[in-house]
């Protein structure tokens, strides 16, 4: 089985977010970038398939040279090969079309992407990718088993879970539950040294439209002051919740 894991290079959740040029551009100064958490769950599951079933695992990202430390981390975790598509990932449709070319040329059986990235939260890339490739698709995937060309997936739905039988080739939009946080891997020194010898291939993007464009960003309003209520003063708490917070 040949697996391609799609990796997004996203700001660490602890980073302080700012914008420049009249709130039209994201300010990357001082921001630490990491593997998108939903993609990291997928990468960890792919590593399980590699260790248990002998799968080959490749990773791919769309981005400039500044994304290479992130994808090198994926190699250090255990991926066999990496591909960087040399383009700015400014639109979900554009990104999906770039990834589709890699899948077509690589002959992958399973494509694992995160259901969304934590920066723009577009949530569109896996579905568009599956449509372009005419491959089976399972979104919000929280469990995956593969036996030959047959796959069994568990996905999250409103109010519960759904078990699905499908077949390869397959695209999934993964999330937490595909593996648990305790299963995520930290590269060790041996993995980091081996990653330096693994292939990181840079390919140029194909011509593709960018149907959407960011016009402006707006940060959420700052949190207001906190009112402390004595634990024994239940009446004051109820009054504040009712008349001021208006939540009851």
pLDDT at 167: 97
Domain topology for 2-218: Rossmann fold (3.40.50)
Is the pLDDT at 115 greater than 90? The verdict is: yes
pLDDT at 46: 97
Greatest Cα-to-Cα distance within the chain, rounded to the nearest angstrom: 68
Helix (H, G, I), strand (E, B) or coil at 147: strand
Residue 63 CB neighbour total at 10 angstroms? 20
Kindly state the average pLDDT of the residues 184-194.
92
Q: Which residue has the tokens 């207001």?
A: 224
Kindly state the average pLDDT of the residues 208-217.
91
pLDDT at 174: 97
Q: How far apart are the first and last CA of the chain?
A: 55
Q: Which residue has the tokens 């919000």?
A: 140
pLDDT at 6: 98
Contact between residue 144 and residue 166 where contact means Cβ atoms under 8 Å apart: no
* Digit-coded pLDDT (tens) for 18-58: 999 999 988 988 899 999 999 999 999 999 999 999 999 99
For strands 33-35 and 9-11, give the pairing: antiparallel
* Digit-coded pLDDT (tens) for 116-173: 999 888 899 999 999 999 999 999 999 999 999 999 999 999 999 999 999 999 999 9
């Amino acid at each position: 089985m040949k697996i391609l894991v799609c990796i997004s290079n996203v700001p660490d959740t602890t980073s302080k977010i700012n914008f420049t040029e009249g709130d039209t551009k994201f300010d990357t100064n001082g921001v630490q970038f990491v593997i998108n958490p939903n993609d990291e769950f997928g990468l960890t599951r792919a590593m399980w398939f590699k260790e248990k079933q002998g799968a080959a695992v490749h990773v791919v990202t769309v981005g400039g040279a500044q994304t290479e430390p992130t994808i090198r981390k994926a190699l250090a975790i255990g991926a066999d090969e990496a591909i960087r598509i040399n383009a700015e990932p400014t639109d979900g449709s554009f990104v999906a079309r770039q990834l589709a070319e890699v899948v077509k040329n690589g002959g992958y059986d399973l494509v694992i992407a995160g259901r969304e990235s934590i920066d723009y939260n577009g949530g569109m890339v896996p579905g568009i990718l599956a449509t372009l490739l005419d491959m089976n698709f399972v979104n919000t995937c929280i469990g995956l088993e593969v036996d030959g060309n047959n796959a069994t997936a568990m996905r999250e739905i409103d109010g519960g879970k759904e078990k699905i039988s499908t077949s390869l080739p397959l695209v999934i939009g993964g999330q937490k539950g595909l593996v648990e946080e305790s299963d995520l891997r930290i590269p060790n020194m041996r993995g980091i040294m081996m990653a330096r010898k693994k292939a990181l291939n840079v390919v140029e993007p194909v011509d593709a439209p960018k149907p959407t464009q960011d016009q402006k960003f707006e940060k959420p309003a700052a949190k207001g002051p906190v009112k402390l209520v004595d634990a024994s003063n239940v009446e004051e708490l109820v009054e504040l919740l009712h008349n001021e917070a208006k939540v009851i």
